[in-house]
Chains A and B, each alone.
Chain A
């Protein structure tokens, strides 16, 4: 079990010795029992840091925010920024470095293993009717503080699907690592949820996705929360094309717009499928996109599908090594080609 004091001491020491610009971690939010991301910059703030089953956010997103902020303010930094990273978060950090978004020396990874339990899935918890004011790790269980007192639940009943299927809870890429290495703790085989979906025939699949894409309100929460969606100008933002005083009406009318602002089924479908294809080989299954969707679209299924193709057809593992190639900018002679006439 990770001792919270270790997390706090590590952060405090690094900040006191001026070894890092800041530490990206978790603190208690004002919203119920949930954790929220925080970037602390002084040693005194280290006591705010927490570590509990609601630490599901992928903090590598804030590495991207930090980098954009540095670029925007034209600031230079000779010190790295530290991040508390679970297994999944460390993998997405690797992908960012693989793509040269920043260098290895720019980030100090404080690995935090979620050991045997992963993190909680709020929806599964709500389905059980549990309303809690606090949560804690305890071996293979989660312990919740409710109005009826403490409630202990085996983690596997309310763990996120991606945690159940997780191959690597221990952050492989790290500067220091806290917690036990429970690699191989898989409580469910990888792609279990995906395979269950693939049992549906095409008509049933379409009926399902038709309903999902219809419901999307195009809030872009999925894109905003994804560390890999760091493009300053996204291909689906039809209004972000630059125009000048000389642009004619005809030029504007003939401008290529891949996706319109209207949140209709066809536009939403184009948006999601484009995004998923852009994430193929880069998505590490942190599940944030699905978690943040206010209308519960199961985005993980789409990204999982791409990951399965990457692993099984192309022998490619997302977030495996900083020096590795990208999935869609490389190829093997053994790539499947039977579908080509």
Chain B
């Protein structure tokens, strides 16, 4: 289903999606974030600081609440996420590709019910990138593209005064159908303009990972290399790169007590971060990843070697956030290129 939407009709389409909580990028306090919108949306953003993974995989998820009266077995009450349908507008192809990877992980040998319950209610209305949205974009180096519809339910392309809107899934078709007469048929000229716009987008220069195919083997060979300590010298072990990554998904599970007697609380899943020094700390006090070099090696290897070995694709989608947000210049493109150059 391919249609045309005049730019001044975007607001009406958003308003027509009354079954959904619509979110779109809003500039607040100098950063772009997805915020709920009602009846209006602008798509003049570059990319949000936080990827949309939070819609399916929130920072905090309550699994169940528990109560323990002395002498009785503990009472567990499962918590189900609220059934809320989300339509997220303005999702960039790197983040759509991110959703593909998150879905792969959470539906692998074990189906994560919590993730699934939320994910099945989230629709992505993507916006293709006519030019790179930042100086650190490199989606094309990792098998992606600025005009890819992977992970999307709808993909919009900006043709100047109008959007070319293409449904990718049945959900996408339903979203577009809800807009009814707001859409007009795509003419042959529109198709031609779309092709040209996409071709132009693909021709725009980006940062480059020099030889992606060689990377997994090089990373494997680099495990004991002193290069890692050197590459991570400036790293301060903060969580920015990981928490802002569209595909990072490690989590911690803790009990958060709300009452001591009787014992009551919630079992909660929260985001965890392999760059935190305590991530691999054992109860004995031994930490297999004791220095920042080991932790950097872990993150880069997970992205470019382990995920490739497990699922046949790089986990990194080239959004560039980890490079832009790193306050001390740790640069994954530089790291991967250096390892490829100097190892084995």
Contact = CB atoms under 8 A, between A and B. Distances in A.
B135 A292 contact: no
B30 A30 contact: no
Interface string B251-272: 0101111001001010010110
B263 A294 contact: no
A294 B254 contact: no
Given A219-B239, A225-B327, 12 more contacts: A29-B329, A31-B135, A38-B234, A131-B135, A219-B273, A220-B276, A238-B254, A244-B283, A261-B252, A261-B254, A262-B60, A263-B60
Interface residues of B, number: 48
Contacts of A126: 30
Contacts of B324: 31
A330 interface: no
A30 B331 contact: yes
B43 to A, nearest CB: 19
Interface of B: 29-31, 33, 49-50, 59-60, 135-136, 233-234, 236-240, 242-244, 252, 254-257, 260, 263, 265, 268, 270-271, 273, 276, 278, 281, 283, 285, 290, 323-329, 331, 333-334
A242 interface: yes
Given A31-B136, A31-B329, A295-B49, A240 B281 contact: yes
Interface in A248-267: 253-254, 257, 260-264
Nearest to B54: A217
Nearest to A288: B327
Contacts, number: 130
A305 to B, nearest CB: 19
Contacts of A35: 329
Contact of A291 (B244, B254, B327): B327
Interface in A134-149: none
A86 interface: no
B291 to A, nearest CB: 8
A27 B31 CA distance: 27
A224 B59 contact: no
Interface residues of A, number: 52
A223 B290 CA distance: 19
Interface string A204-240: 0000000110010111111111000000000001111
B243 A262 contact: no
B327 A221 contact: yes
Contacts of B271: 217, 263
Given A253-B257, A253-B263, A292 B233 contact: no
Nearest to B68: A253
A225 B243 contact: no
A280 B263 CA distance: 36
A229 to B, nearest CB: 10
Contact of A295 (B50, B254, B268, B278): B50
A262 B327 contact: no
Interface in A177-229: 211-212, 215, 217-225
B96 to A, nearest CB: 21
Contacts of B334: 30
A67 interface: no
A18 B233 CA distance: 21
Residue among A38, A224, A237 with max Cβ neighbours from chain B (10 Å)? A224
Given A242-B283, A260-B256, A262-B256, A127 B234 contact: no
Nearest to A234: B278
A152 interface: no
B328 A57 contact: yes
Contacts of B257: 253, 257
Contacts of B242: 219
A32 interface: yes
Given A220-B239, A261-B252, A262-B60, A294 B49 contact: yes
A250 to B, nearest CB: 8
Given A34-B329, A217-B50, A254-B260, A225 B238 contact: yes
Contact of A225 (B236, B254, B323): B236
B121 to A, nearest CB: 22
Given A30-B333, A36-B328, A221 B240 contact: yes
Contacts of A294: 31, 49-50, 240, 243-244, 325
Contacts of B328: 36-37, 57, 225
A39 B233 contact: yes
